[in-house]
Amino acid sequence: MDKSWIKLSLVPQVGPQRFFDLIEYFGSAEEVFKTDRHELKNIGSLNDNLIEEIQKCRDIDIDVYINKVTSMGIKLITYNDNEYPNNLKNIHYPPPVLYLKGNVELLDGMNIAIVGSRNCSYYGSQIAYNFAARLAAAGFTIVSGMARGIDSMAHQGAISANGKTIAVVGSGLDIIYPRENKELYRTIAKSGALVSEFPLGTEPLKQNFPRRNRIISGLSVGVLVVEAGVRSGSLITAGFALEQGKDVFAIPGNINYESSMGTNNLIKEGAKLVTSVNDIIEEYELRIDLKEKIENQRVNNLSEGYKKILDYIDDKPISINSISNISGVSINELIAVLNKLVLLGYIKELPGKFYVKV
């Protein structure tokens, strides 16, 4: 972890583009702070206000700041660290520093973003929830922005299926926004990952969210837009996805509703029309290099008790009595577990209470 990178990222007005421009010009973040005011003025792109901010941050005790961050259970990852996600390495102006609470390994997994309107319809909220649950059960990690509406429903759907989810936020990780998502924030921190590029104390300002959106798409192999008007921020996420060479999927909506105009326009412009979860799953199962990765994540999403039962089931039909005898689990307990595995698409029930792996 390069402490000087963290310090430079704390300078107001130094976004990702200016950050990397400064690194390129000076050779290192440390050199930026060693340069005096007069020399900094010779750089045409630096105005007096920015030079003043750089001078102020020079005196920050970065160890105190880092200790504060880590004491909150937040991990700092700089661009040159081994843990920095490959999924973000090659996007346009990647975040120089990431703040993470949760499982860092999820950032380089088989991730699908689900985004859409904050003011969504009941139809949109149910589509987001159900698609997230089914995709999570199929082995994908669900990425979204923890905003009201579609984002929150996508996170909740993934959690309902014992799946994994990543929330990329537009504030510091010490600020929960919106406040009603406090419990969702805690759940994701325990079983998924919370991610931000913004320092502690950063308020959820309007200009932060387009920056946040490029990370949502960058972490994902594809982006599903569920419901969006023509000015929805989720269309910015779709735009970043296209720029990054990612897949864009869209749910068609009622042509009379403004809330569907954005998604319908995406379809007209070439986004893949999606009417079932299988439309997305099949897209990636056809890619041999990704199929094994999906399957590994799918099994890892299960709790140990469910994995144990799943291990006894293969492509040869086995009866519930045989599973009970082998596992030592009672029939009554098994019924609940097997029904859940069927619901999540891991196994199929045959006549006579026989089961096979799907």
Residue 338: give its domain's CATH number: 1.10.10.10
Residues 186 and 37 in one domain: no
Q: What pLDDT does 31 receive? A: 92
Instruction: Specify the amino acid at residue 84.
Output: Y
Residue 125: give its domain's CATH number: 3.40.50.450
Residue 2's domain spans which residues? Answer: 1-65
- Domain C-terminal end among 12, 47, 65: 65
Q: What pLDDT does 265 receive? A: 94
Residues 240 and 146 in one domain: yes
Q: If you average pLDDT over every residue of the chain, what do you get?
A: 90
Residues 239 and 349 in one domain: no
Instruction: Answer yes or no: are the C-beta atoms of 297 and 141 closer than 8 Å.
Output: yes
Confidence of residue 287 (pLDDT cuts 50, 70, 90): low
Residue 70 maps to a domain: no
Q: What pLDDT does 294 receive? A: 60
Integer-rounded Cα Rg, in Å, for the chain is: 23
CA of residue 247 relative to chain centroid, distance? 15
Residues 137 and 17 in one domain: no
Cα separation, 175 vs 247, in Å, equals 31
Residue 39 maps to a domain: yes
Tens digits of residue pLDDT in 176-188: 999 999 999 999 9
Confidence of residue 147 (pLDDT cuts 50, 70, 90): very high
Tens digits of residue pLDDT in 26-65: 899 999 998 888 888 777 678 888 888 998 888 889 999 9
Instruction: Answer yes or no: are the C-beta atoms of 120 and 150 closer than 8 Å.
Output: yes
CA of residue 186 relative to chain centroid, distance? 15
Residue 218 maps to a domain: yes
Cα separation, 125 vs 157, in Å, equals 10
Q: What pLDDT does 288 receive? A: 46
**Residue 118 predicted with pLDDT over 70:** yes
Within 10 angstroms of residue 80's Cβ, the number of other Cβ atoms is 10
Tens digits of residue pLDDT in 208-253: 999 999 999 999 999 999 999 888 889 999 999 999 999 999 999 8
Residues 132 and 274 in one domain: yes
Residues 27 and 130 in one domain: no
- Domain C-terminal end among 65, 92, 117: 65
Q: What pLDDT does 292 receive? A: 59
Residues 181 and 273 in one domain: yes
Report the number of distinct structural domains present in the chain.
Answer: 3
Residue 247 maps to a domain: yes
DSSP 3-state of 93? coil
Residues 284 and 306 in one domain: no
Residue 79 maps to a domain: no
**Residue 164 predicted with pLDDT over 60:** yes
Residue 82 maps to a domain: no
Residue with tokens 């050779």: 27
Within 10 angstroms of residue 48's Cβ, the number of other Cβ atoms is 10
What residues are paired with 58 via a beta bridge? none
Residue 99 maps to a domain: no
What's the whole-number mean pLDDT along residues 273-283? 91
Residues 308 and 242 in one domain: no
Instruction: Answer yes or no: are the C-beta atoms of 207 and 198 closer than 8 Å.
Output: no
Q: 316 versus 169: which is more confidently predicted?
A: 169
- Domain C-terminal end among 17, 41, 65: 65
**Residue 284 predicted with pLDDT over 80:** yes
Rounded percentage of the chain residues whose pLDDT exceeds 70: 95
Residue 90 maps to a domain: no
Q: 98 versus 357: which is more confidently predicted?
A: 98
Cα separation, 209 vs 202, in Å, equals 12
Instruction: Answer yes or no: are the C-beta atoms of 179 and 206 closer than 8 Å.
Output: no
Predicted TM-score of the model (pTM): 0.81
Residues 42 and 164 in one domain: no
Instruction: Answer yes or no: are the C-beta atoms of 247 and 268 closer than 8 Å.
Output: no
Question: What backbone phi and psi angles, to 5 degrees, belong to 245?
Answer: 75, 25
Residues 239 and 306 in one domain: no
Residues 179 and 273 in one domain: yes
DSSP 3-state of 275? coil
Tens digits of residue pLDDT in 288-340: 455 556 666 666 666 778 888 998 998 889 999 999 999 989 988 899 889 88
Instruction: Answer yes or no: are the C-beta atoms of 236 and 228 closer than 8 Å.
Output: no
